[in-house]
Structure 1
Amino acid sequence: MRALTWHGKHDVRVDTVPDPEIINPRDAILEVTSTAICGSDLHLYDGVIPGMMSGDIIGHEFMGRVVETGPKSTLQKGQRVVVPFTISCGSCFFCQKTLYSACDNSNPVANQDVSENLYGHAMSGLFGYSHLTGGYPGGQAEYVRVPFSDIGPIVIPEGMEDDDVLFLSDILPTGWMAAENAEIEEGDTVAVWGCGPVGLFAIQSALLMGAARVIAIDEFPNRLDLARKLGAEVIDFKQTRVLDALMDMSGGLGPDAVIDAVGMEAHGFAPDTILDNIKQNVGFGADSAHALREALMAVRKGGRVSIPGVYGGFVDKFPLGALMEKGLKVKTGQTHVQRYTDELLRRIGEGEIDTTFLISHRLPLEEAPTGYKNFRYNQNDWTKVVLKPGMTSA
C-alpha cells in the first residue's frame, strides 16, 4: 500500500509499505477514505517530538471503511467509522474513569521506559505519533490497523459525508474538551490563543457553552477572519500588545478563562519566543511556551487555564509565581475522545456544529508532502488539509 512516512525534519514521503494485518483478535483493518493533517503533526514535521524513527507511518486523524475484522471486534465489514486518535483498551483503571487518553494497556511495554523517564508515567498509545506513544502506524495511508476496535471507532450513519465527521477523530473533541476544561460559566469572557483548527473549535465550543465573549489571538488574517465569523472578537498579536488589549477589553479584570491552543511551537518575535526557538533548533530546549506564559499572566485572579496545545518537554521562564499567587486552576491533557463522540455526533447531525468551515484544501494522498509544507509555511491560506487516498492528482 501507499503511506506517508517520516524520514527526518521536514522530510515526509509517500512510500510503498507492507499492508497492515490482523495481529490481535480485537483488531480491525480500515480502508482509509479521508485523513487530515493536524497541527500536532507539524511538531513531527519540525522534528521536535522525540521517539520518531525513519519510515514511521504518521497521521492520527482518519476515517474509513472496515475491510477486515478480528474475531473479537464488534465492527462489521463495510461499516464507515471514524477512529479516535487515542488508543484505549476500555477496561483499565483510567478507561473505566473515562480518562481514555491515559490508558494503561495500549502502549507496549517496550516503548514505556522513555516516556516514564520524561513524565513519571508511561503515555498511552496514539496513532502515528512516535514510539513514545507505542509506535503505531498512522492513518495517512491507504489502509490502517485499528487495535481495540471494539472500543474506539465511531460508526457513522449513512448519509453523513466524510467532511462532516472526520474531525471527530481529534480536533473537534479536543476543542470541545478545551472549552470544558475552562469551566465556562454563563457570561464569561474567554481568551483563546491560536486560531488553528483546535483553537477555532474551542471558540465554537466556548460560545455553545455559554461564554458571552470570546477573544481570539493570532497573527494570520484569514484565521482571524474565521474566528470573527464564529462570533469572536480578535487580536492580531503582531499589531497589538496582547496583555494590554485584554486588560482594556475586560475592564481591567482579565479574562475569566484562557485557552492555550498553540502549544510547544509558539512563533513570533517576543524575546522569550526567540530564545525558545534558538534552543529548539540546537536541541537544548524542547518547548516554546510564549502563549502559555502570556495566558497565565493575562487571566484574572481566580481564573481557569485550559491547555489543549501539545507540550512535550521542559519549559523555563515559567511564571509559576503568577499561577500560585493568582490562585489559578489549570486543566490539560490529551483528549479523552471517546467521552465526547456520541454527543458531538448528535450535534453535527442536528446542524448545531459545523465541522467543514475550516477545510481549505483537499489533496490526494500522493500530494501529502506538499500539504505538509504549505500547512507549515502558509498557514494563512492553508487552514486545514484533508487527504483523500482514493483521489487522483489533477
Structure 2
Amino acid sequence: MTVIDKPSLLQRIKPWFQGFDLPLLFAILWLMGLGLLCMYSAGYDHGTRFVDHGRNMLLSLAIIFIVAQVPPQRLMALAIPLYAAGVALLVATALFGITKKGATRWLNVGIVIQPSELLKIAMPLMLAWWFQKREGVLRLPDFFAAFALLAIPVGLVAKQPDLGTAILVASAGLYVIFFAGLSWRLIIPAFVVGAIAITALVMSEEAICQPEVKWPVLREYQKNRVCTLLDPTKDPLGKGFHIIQGEIAIGSGGVTGKGFMKGTQTHLEFIPERTTDFIFAAFGEEFGLAGALALLAGFSALILRGLMIASDAPALFSRLLAGAVTLSFFTYVFVNMGMVSGILPVVGVPLPFISYGGTAMVTLGIGLGMLMSISKSRRLIQS
C-alpha cells in the first residue's frame, strides 16, 4: 500500500509567496507608512478619511498579492480584451455618460464607474503585446500603428475633458514605445519643438493670457490653469489660490518641518484639497525638507527597483510592461509634486499611496502586482 503524505497548510500556501521581490515590497510598505502618517494629520477631521485610507491600502496590498500570482503569459492574453473593453466604455461614456461640473467622465453600468482608469493598465498591456508580436520584424510602420492605438483612448479621455488622466494614459503608452526602440532621431526633434513652445509661451504670457484671446484645442479653464501657473499673483484669491498656498505651505516647513499635526496652513484650511491632490503641501509643511527627502527616497527606491526588474525580465513583453509601469509611477510623482510646487499646471493627478482615493489605489495595486508578477516569474525561472 502506498502512503501519500497530505501537505500541510504551510506547504500549500508557501508557493504563493515564493519569488516575491522584497526590495520592491519594502519600498511599497515605506510609502504606505508615510501615507498613513500624513493622512492621519491632514484628514483626521475629514470624517473617516484616515480609516478609509488604511482600508484602501489593505485592498491595494491584496490586489498586489493576487495579481502577482498571474504569470506574465496570462497578463499578455488580457491585453486585447482589456484594451477593447476600455475603448468601448470610453465611447459609451461619450454617448451616455454622466456629466458633473462640465465633465463627462462617468458611466452607469449598474454602478457608476470611471472607464478612463482602466486604460492606465490596458494601454501599456496592449502596446507591450503589440511590440512582442512584432519582435524581430519591427519596422517604422509598426511604431505608427502603436501611436494610433495610443491616440484613440487618449483623445477620448481628453475630450471628456480629463487632462490629468489623459497625461497618465499617454505617458504609459509613450514609455512602451520608447523602450521598444523608438529612434532618437524622432525623439530629439519632439523635445526641441516642446522646449521652443514652452519658451514662446512664457515670453508671450502677457499677450496670450488676455481674456479675449482664445486658445486652439484647449478649453477656457485649461487656458486659465496655464496662465495661472505663469503668474499666480494676478488672481491670488481666485485661480492662483491653490498654487500660492501650496508654495507657502511647503516653504514654511523649512528643513525639519513644523511638526506632526502642527501645520498651520493645513489645519487652518488654507490648503485646498489637502487630503487628495495637494497633500504634498501638507506633508512638506509638517515634515519639511527632511520629510520630503524621505518620501522621495521611497519613490526613488520603488522606481529604481522597477527598472531593475524591467532590465532583468526574460521576454520583451515583460520588459516593456515593467518599464512602462515603473515610469508611470515617476509620472504620478513628478506631475503631482510639480503642480503643488508651482512648476506645472494644476491637474487631477494623485500622489501614489499618499493622496486619498480608492480608485487610484486599486490602479496602483494592479500596476505593482504586474511588476511583482514579472519579478516573481524571473526568480522562479532562475531557481
Give me the TM-score of the superposition, normalised by structure 2.
0.29
Rg (Cα) greater in structure: 2
- Indicate the structure with greater helix content: 2
- The structure carrying a bigger strand percent of its residues is 1
TM-score normalised over the length of structure 1? 0.28
